[in-house]
Chains A and B, each alone.
Chain A
Amino acid sequence: METPVLETKSPQVKTEPAKISFLLSIRNSLIRDRYLYLMLIPFILWYVIFQYKPMAGLQIAFKDYSLFKGIAESPWVGFENFIRFFESEYFIRTLTNTALISLYGLVFGFPAPILLALLINEVKNKVFKNTVQTLTYLPHFISVVVITGIITNMLAPTNGLVNILIDKLGGEKTYFLTESEYFRTIFTSMNIWKDVGFNAIIYLAAMAGINPALYEAAKMDGANRWRQMSHVTLPGILPTIIILFLIQIGAFLEVGYEAIILLYQPSTYETADVINTYVYRAGLQGGEYEIGAAAGLFNSIVGLILVVTANKLSKKFTENSLW
């Protein structure tokens, strides 16, 4: 339809009319939506500068990085940095710890908010319900520095509340944070405590969306509350559970290294050191940038594979996918 206009306007261009009309329609939409595109410029620039440019910087994982030469001028070394990481004692240790801490989170942390939401859903008293929710959300909004600070102080060997109580009850004082066998339990419990209330919100929202007629029907059939829970509520929130489960699988390697850095000590590295804490220690504190970048890239790639796999599974088993 636009072809005749085109020929009169730009007779010197010797491209196919279809192509030209395509370019012209782009031009038209650029003009029509110019303000929207102008708004997008700073937005996209931010992603280029602060997200994609560092991705280009990942090349140092394949280089012998020299501070003086910079990223571009440093010589390529192929997979040497990866091999060094894979052959170091840290590889198996950090990979195991990352997987185990994540697995603990899946096994214990994932069902916790579902259980909490089921219990809160049974409460009919509105004031009580709101109070419980308000109080259980609170820890989510407190910084990891404060949370780990409180834990460190409460577990402190001589003056910490926990050990004072243990002492009073006749037990033996233990400095839990220096014993590697306690680390994962402490860390997992901390995360559950911090997020259980807040993570329950989404299940409660899903429960609110269940058709009340289903409960009525179940009651007519003589179902007691436990049966209603298992036959109406749980199936009702199952899609939400599956989606959130897949999200967590996709984020398997994101184990909250920022909190681990605050909580671990050299004596607990054995069970606490995850890939990203190692990246931080070797790379930023130790100055071995290229090894840190290689370990970090390994973490990111495995993470990406997990996210894509989780989404594939989601598409296969549920109606909805994460994207």
Chain B
Amino acid sequence: MKKSRSERLSDVLIYGFLVLLAIACIYPFIYVFSASISSAQSVISGEVILFPKDITFISYAKVLQDPAIWTAYGNTIFYTVIGTAVNLLLTICGAYPLSKKRLRGKAFIAFFIAFTMWFQAGIIPTYLNFKELGLLDTRTSIIIGFAISTFLVFILRSFFQSIPDSLEESAKVDGANDLQILMKIYLPLSKPALVTVGLFYAVARWNGYFWAMVLLNDESKIPLQVMLKKLIVEMTVSEQVLATADAMTEFSRETIIYATIFVSILPIIIIYPFLQKYFVKGTMLGGVKE
């Protein structure tokens, strides 16, 4: 079918707008990368707009020489890996029983947890609770204190519910108990859902800053995001880094910040293309099944 002139015009407008939007969405990241490998002088004078100029990796060298970033990086990996594992374990502990129609008290438990989506104690009582539990400035507070997202429990539950009951029944006939059924039938069948939920947890762990900032004081325990926050908002470029700032034409506070930002988002950028479809699935699962 031949397109009319007005159709072609609207096509041009639509494609044009979407291209501009896509560029707007990734441009800041391209800029950050270009600025991080350009000389401080060309960044400050505004010569770097898209492509890097006077390419130098000295900002990266400075960032990576700073032991603080390695500590923070290690902490973030720890919080993400261990935290996500704990997240998944506890989420399964709730989602699986709650997916069973026959479970007595199910409605009450579902309300008990759903209530926390509508009403929360808030920042101060949550903080004082950690304090009373003696968890201030401990890694446990981060790992255990944020172990469950009610929303993701419900997402996983609706996935479990979509698995036909007949599988469970036939396993029961063969004498399997609920734990065996979960481990041998439900979990293997739920891999896509577990990956999706796990990824939502992992991204939240990797990116989380607020409670880490509130609960942790000890520099040796803080994750990357808290370090970044100190660097960017409080403008405290590590002493060691600025002490060697004699060659200010090659790097500056800006290029150091850009380099640190890039180092922190690199893992997400690398894995992002592979994982995108899972996020899309999870979002649809969460939305359509409301």
Q: Which residues of A contact B (CB under 8 A)?
A: 26, 29-30, 33, 35-37, 39-40, 42-44, 46-47, 49-51, 53-55, 57-58, 60, 70-71, 116, 119-120, 122-123, 128, 131-132, 134-139, 141-146, 148-150, 152-154, 156, 158-159, 161, 164-165, 167-168, 193, 196-198, 201-202, 205-206, 224-226, 240, 243-244, 250, 258, 261-262, 276, 279-280, 283-284, 289, 292-293, 296-297, 299-301, 303-304, 307-308, 320, 322-323
Compute how far the CA of A183 lies from the CA of B290 in the bound complex, rounded to whole angstroms. 34
Q: Which residues of B contact A (CB under 8 A)?
A: 6-7, 10-11, 14-15, 17-19, 21-22, 24-26, 28-29, 31-32, 43-46, 49, 90, 92-94, 96-97, 100, 102-104, 109, 112-114, 116, 118-129, 132-133, 144-145, 147-148, 177-179, 203, 206-210, 214, 225, 228-229, 231-233, 252, 254, 257-258, 261, 264-265, 268-269, 272-273, 276, 279-280, 283-284, 287-288, 290
Chain B residues near A276 (CB, 8 Å)?
122-123
Compute how far the CA of A224 lies from the CA of B6 in the bound complex, rounded to whole angstroms. 10
Chain A residues near B290 (CB, 8 Å)?
243, 320, 322
Distance of A311 from chain B, by nearest CB (Å)? 9
Sample 21 A-B pairs with CB under 8 A, ordered by A number. A33-B178, A40-B93, A54-B120, A55-B119, A55-B120, A58-B125, A123-B15, A142-B207, A146-B265, A149-B228, A149-B232, A153-B257, A161-B31, A197-B25, A202-B283, A202-B287, A258-B209, A262-B233, A283-B124, A300-B120, A303-B119
A36 and B96 within 8 A (CB)? yes
Chain B residues near A145 (CB, 8 Å)?
207, 209, 225, 228-229, 232
Chain A residues near B148 (CB, 8 Å)?
43, 46-47
Compute how far the CA of A181 lies from the CA of B170 in the bound complex, rounded to whole angstroms. 66
B7 and A165 within 8 A (CB)? no
A47 and B112 within 8 A (CB)? yes
Compute how far the CA of A258 lies from the CA of B214 in the bound complex, rounded to whole angstroms. 11
Of B24, B120, B284, the residue contacting A51 (CB under 8 A) is B120
B96 and A71 within 8 A (CB)? no
Chain A residues near B132 (CB, 8 Å)?
57, 70-71
**B-side binding surface: helix, strand, loop or mixed?**
helix
Of A144, A154, A250, the residue contacting B207 (CB under 8 A) is A144
B119 and A300 within 8 A (CB)? yes
Chain A residues near B179 (CB, 8 Å)?
35
In the complex formed, the residue of A with least CB distance to B284 is A205
Distance of A119 from chain B, by nearest CB (Å)? 5
Compute how far the CA of A36 lies from the CA of B201 in the bound complex, rounded to whole angstroms. 23
Compute how far the CA of A120 lies from the CA of B22 in the bound complex, rounded to whole angstroms. 11
**16 further contact pairs, Cβ within 8 A, besides A143-B264, A152-B232, A196-B21:** A36-B103, A49-B129, A49-B133, A120-B18, A150-B261, A153-B254, A165-B46, A202-B284, A202-B288, A205-B284, A279-B122, A296-B121, A296-B125, A300-B120, A303-B119, A308-B118
